[in-house]
Structure 1
Amino acid sequence: MAENSSCCTPDGSCQTGGDAAVEVGAVTSTYKVTGMTCGHCEGAVSSEIGEIAGVSAVQAVAASGLVTVTSKAPLDEAAVRAAVDEAGYELVGQV
């Protein structure tokens, strides 16, 4: 499990991974995920992706199906797909 558990913000998005400050040299990637319908879904996806080595922040938004991930280096899409699958949702791909 990620060091900081996920939490939902008032706008319904969820974040995990601690400090919201962006690291120098950090990579931000956005993915489309289907099946998320609520804050719990966002938290599940954020938590699983947050466990991938190098991930420092995750923001999932059920309404749009978009998941924004900040990491130290580009992520292997297969690892992101496996994390999303583990959460019970489907990764469409990177946008």
Structure 2
Amino acid sequence: MTKFQQRCYQILKAEVPKGHVITYGGLAKLIGHPNAYRAVGSAMNKNPFAPEVPCHRVVKANGELGSFADDIGVKIKRSKAEGVEVKNGNIINFQHICIR
């Protein structure tokens, strides 16, 4: 595992509480690499610590769930279990629960 991946997992776990989401770009900014949103997505795809490191909380900038290494149904299930409303692959109330 790279230091970049470790930092992604560390910050995600510490900064994004249950019931909230963050964008790939938002997480990239938090770790100090604002243009590395694709690398953040790659790190989330390789997350060996799920669900303790909640990669299901990382979503696209437009409020869509994005992809998931496992079945997207798992991402939806985990999100809903934390109180995040999802409809047709989109986060409901995205502006209110997204950490910027």
TM range (shorter): 0.3 to 0.5
TM-score, with normalisation over the residues of structure 2?
0.33
TM-score, with normalisation over the residues of structure 1?
0.34
Decide which structure has greater helix share.
2
